[in-house]
A and B are shown apart, each in its own frame.
Chain A
């Protein structure tokens, strides 16, 4: 039995290899359509080809390749039946509609939807890439359909902000130099690069500039790389960041709307509250450090211009802002992050 702690993309992919092979064999041998299993198997092949090759990955790759070569045509035919670009586009537009609402229902489900759509698109690209690499015929219409989904993602990148951790976790596994030895496979990594760069400074990576890939229209988010904006009606979902003092005596909150804004002069407010929701005025006169920026607390609040926070946050290169409070000994101490960075 495979018992695995799932904390990374690598765990997720490697942990499912044997079960996917078994499921494909059962479905294939029983003459069922098997599109789910075929899709997963070819996507797995693509994931493993794209990963750095340690012993586990190399072993899994060998097992998958053997089956994929032997069942190539049946696999490709069944897997292609499991790809629905029109369905993906319709659901991506549905997600856009939900995020445009001022107070969407169940934002946690929208986080899940964004991640699912990103993963599905990645898998579909990998299915096509694997099929081509195996020498199977890939219908042009299907390739174009998936390409149109990729274009949508690239032009509406902010819809997929919640998939940034997904993109990063997969990107960490990519084999260096992929662009040189497998341009087709490398092409599947560009969307990870785009998303991963949303909240951090560009860095040397396996994929060259994502701008190398033609887009239908300029990406709205790449300009203000931090998807932060002043709170204004109709600007969409708000990311709530929360911290709690180590002794639980107070908490802090910073609300950041996710829609981008170019208005860098707008002030964001960091609020300090007691457990009962009243102002934590005992912090007045204290100094706090938010992503390295020192701010003074007055009336249980500290304000920071968006134009200052954005570059500070980017150089912090984390998806959560860091908040520290000056302790009596002069050191800045970190609070406990008490809630996830998604809207509730």
Chain B
């Protein structure tokens, strides 16, 4: 049975959109973001536990990705995809509620493309018909993403190499090497603390990008971006959690 795509209501249009346009796009994003290290460490915080994969085991991630491309149009990825889709849906909903969304460029505005940043740290790019991409910004290596662009990327190539962005180093520039030495986030901290640190890291990247967009496009684009960051206790409340109930 092929991968079953999930729907969500478009926050600004009377329409339903799918979480990615087809099974191939969905499988690519599950593989490139959820299952590829080091971004997978962040997704583990949000999605674990899953029956189909042990995030900390590279071979487990690889096996699931491989199965996703080998068997019946992504069927093996259904559990990971569903969990991913839930976080994407949550990010869009909360971002809409808090006003954490924007158009990155004039072209985006023309095409109805919006960026949503959720308190879970997930950045979603949403088109009029489907989710275009969803990621934990700043968790991957820009060089790897860049190297991957423009290359042939088909189900056939994925059957041979299901995680083409794996085996690269984490981070970029001045702040990359220590990331590799960082203890696994999930194992070292209270999960709310760890999730907040993940959120703050992603928010930092998003805020820089939003400002960069403003600098590039300027006032002409009406891009006065409201990109927020929240203090820990405010962030907990945004998650529906009473700070008094969380261990310090």
Contacts and interface: CB of A to CB of B under 8 A. Distances in A.
Contact of A166 (B188, B215, B217): B215
A6 B231 contact: no
Chain B CB within 10 A, most for which of A18, A19, A83 = A19
B21 interface: no
Interface in A3-21: 3-9, 11-12, 15-16, 18-20
Contacts of B193: 26-27, 30
B90 interface: no
A165 B244 CA distance: 43
Given A16-B207, A27-B197, A22 B231 contact: yes
A8 B218 CA distance: 11
Interface in A72-129: 81-88, 91-92, 94, 98, 105-106, 109-113, 115-117, 119-121, 123-124
Contact of A3 (B175, B188, B212, B226): B226
Nearest to A33: B182
Given A26-B197, A32-B189, A18 B175 contact: no
A341 B216 CA distance: 7
Contact of B232 (A22, A33, A83): A22
A20 B200 contact: yes
Contact of A149 (B150, B174, B211, B231): B174
A20 B207 CA distance: 13
B229 interface: yes
Interface in B128-176: 142-143, 145-146, 149-150, 171-176
Interface stretch (A34-42, A250-258, A300-308): A34-42
B224 A116 contact: no
Contact of B173 (A3, A40, A117): A117
Nearest to A94: B143
A37 B197 contact: yes
A6 B105 contact: no
B231 A36 contact: no
A276 interface: no
B214 A6 contact: yes
A6 B211 contact: yes
Contact of B174 (A9, A84, A109, A336): A84
B58 interface: no
B203 A109 contact: no
A12 B207 contact: yes
A91 B207 contact: no
A338 interface: yes
A66 B182 CA distance: 27
Chain B CB within 10 A, most for which of A85, A116, A117 = A116
A110 B147 CA distance: 12
Given A5-B224, A30-B193, A124 B174 contact: yes
B239 to A, nearest CB: 13
A336 B173 contact: no
B173 A88 contact: yes
Interface string B50-81: 00000000000000000000000000000000
A152 to B, nearest CB: 12
B7 interface: no
Contacts of A8: 211
Nearest to B182: A33
Given A6-B210, A30-B188, A106-B146, A1 B231 contact: yes
Nearest to B234: A1
A315 interface: no
Contacts of A86: 177
A5 B213 CA distance: 13
Contact of A23 (B149, B178, B196): B196
Contacts of A119: 208
A83 B174 contact: yes
Interface string A119-148: 111011000000000000000000000000
B52 to A, nearest CB: 29
B178 A91 contact: no
Nearest to A27: B197
A205 interface: no
B174 A111 contact: no
Nearest to A37: B197
B175 A82 contact: yes
Nearest to B214: A7
B201 interface: yes
Contacts of B149: 105-106, 109
Contact of B182 (A35, A105, A341): A35
A33 B171 CA distance: 16
B143 A91 contact: yes
Chain B CB within 10 A, most for which of A6, A12, A83, A115 = A6
A219 B178 CA distance: 32
Contacts of B48: none
Q: Lowest 3 CB-CB distances: which A-B pairs, in order?
A: A165-B215, A120-B174, A22-B232
6 contacts: A6-B207, A16-B204, A19-B230, A23-B197, A115-B208, A340-B105
Interface of A: 1-9, 11-12, 15-16, 18-20, 22-23, 26-27, 29-30, 32-33, 35-37, 39-40, 81-88, 91-92, 94, 98, 105-106, 109-113, 115-117, 119-121, 123-124, 149, 165-166, 169, 336-342
